[in-house]
Amino acid sequence: MNPLQIDTTEPVLVTGATGYVAGWIIKDLLEAGVTVHATVRDASKTARLAHLTAIADRSPGQIRFFDADLLTEGAFDEAMQGTRVVYHTASPFVRDVSDPQKDLVDPAVQGTTNVLRTASRTPTVRRVVLTSSVAAMYGDAVELSATGGRLDESCWNATSSLTHEPYPYSKTLAERAAWDQAKEQDQWELVTVNPGLVVGPALNDQPTSESFAIVQQLAGGRGRFGVPNLAMTVVDVRDVAAAHIAAAYTPEAHGRYLVAAEATDLVDLGRRLQPHATRPRLVATRALPKQLAVLVAPLAGMDRAYVRDNVGHPLQLATTRTRDELGVTYRSIDASLGEMLAQLQGARS
Ligand code: NAP
């Protein structure tokens, strides 16, 4: 593969700039000398942007902030003017919601169609890199059991719904809507980046991403007597950012890219977090027997069907496209988990 040629002559748009993943994408872009148009919900809250401004101050690239809410039609028009690449990362990543349609599906789907409609009326835009998710590839690991748990870019989540795992449902609908819109025009190309659970440090002091809530739950004591041993895929946030940059600047990049370093499970993650924990005895390192895990699932805020369909169904990753076509190499997640936990523990002390 040729070394990546990052075009610094034209600005790019990054939506959801306050986010955990977006922060690292913006850092890479600024350090490469790119001008970044960064959309946030409220640019007057400058404290939430301070980490980005600080990176811009010491980088050759520049950053400009714009207000844009996913649900406001036309909100991205001004920020998108003159951009060649659009990175659409903004989407709610929260699991605990009272109204899944309003809190997850509407911003994910309407937000994506809103951003892509703007791309179609902004003649400079040539490529859109959408932050999708492994959650759009499968909802329950049992779905993949017919192929020995093999997860690759041909997989689509077929089991999530508004009432069963609404976050994966929101990501699936949003990615499908994006591919539908991409087919209706030929001005811009769509490339999706589909990461597993993202881990590693955040650039901002108070990350809101559900990634931090998951690690906090594993290390904070809630699972110390045992957890449902859910299958999952994991990747460092800096590798996710690198995949986004390569997806934008590799001319041949196309389609979906599964971005995950490892297929693992919750207990394995707990065991690898433990050496980094200030209170190691609180860390979840034991698996509950499956029948018990299903029974007590609601006590852990999970639904029983989710536990039944995700425990005991290991995954096998097939990520050759991402390695070969985007040149992504994965760092070990042990260090990433340590850095993330250090940040969480530092915030508490
Ligand atoms: P995050 O830190 O919570 O970032 C989410 C971003 O979306 C925030 O900037 C948030 O803005 C923005 N957003 C939410 N609702 C919005 C709305 N109505 N209008 C405008 N912006 C809105 O979470 P993250 O982990 O970085 O997630 C970023 C993307 O990666 C999401 O698309 C997520 O689905 C995807 N992803 C994440 C993971 C993971 O494990 N973290 C894995 C796979 C895919 P505010 O700051 O204003 O709330």
At 178-205, the pLDDT tens digits run 999 999 999 999 999 999 999 999 999 8
At 215-270, the pLDDT tens digits run 999 999 989 999 999 999 999 999 999 999 999 999 999 999 999 999 999 999 99
Binning pLDDT at 50, 70 and 90, where does residue 300 land?
confident
Specify the residue with its C-alpha closest to ligand 1, atom 44: 133
Host domain of residue 22 = 12-348
Judged against a pLDDT cut of 70, whether residue 2 lies above it is answered with: no
Residue 28 counted as domain residue: yes
Pocket test for ligand 1, best of 15, 24, 41 (most atoms within 8 A of CB): 41
Residue 115 alpha carbon to ligand 1 centre in Å: 15
Binning pLDDT at 50, 70 and 90, where does residue 1 land?
low
Judged against a pLDDT cut of 70, whether residue 348 lies above it is answered with: no
Residue 7 counted as domain residue: no
For residue 262, what is the domain's CATH number? 3.40.50.720
Taking residue 250's Cβ as centre, other Cβ atoms within 10 Å add up to 18
* 290 catalytic per annotation: no
**Tally of domains within the chain:** 1
Which pLDDT score, from 0 to 100, does residue 86 have? 98
Residue pair 226/287 in contact (Cβ under 8 Å)? The answer is yes
Cα separation, 265 vs 188, whole angstroms: 38
Which pLDDT score, from 0 to 100, does residue 42 have? 95
At 15-55, the pLDDT tens digits run 999 999 999 999 999 999 999 999 999 999 999 999 999 99
Residue 301 counted as domain residue: yes
Residue 289 alpha carbon to ligand 1 centre in Å: 33
Q: Which helix (H) or strand (E) holds 51?
A: helix 50-57
Residue 194 alpha carbon to ligand 1 centre in Å: 14
Residue 1 counted as domain residue: no
Q: Which own/partner contact pairs does 45-48 have at CB distance under 8 Å and 24+ positions apart? A: 48/18, 48/204
Tokens of 144: 């993949």
pTM: 0.97
Residue 2 counted as domain residue: no
- Residue in 228, 258, 92 with CA at minimum distance from that of residue 169: 92
Residue pair 245/263 in contact (Cβ under 8 Å)? The answer is no
Residue pair 152/318 in contact (Cβ under 8 Å)? The answer is yes
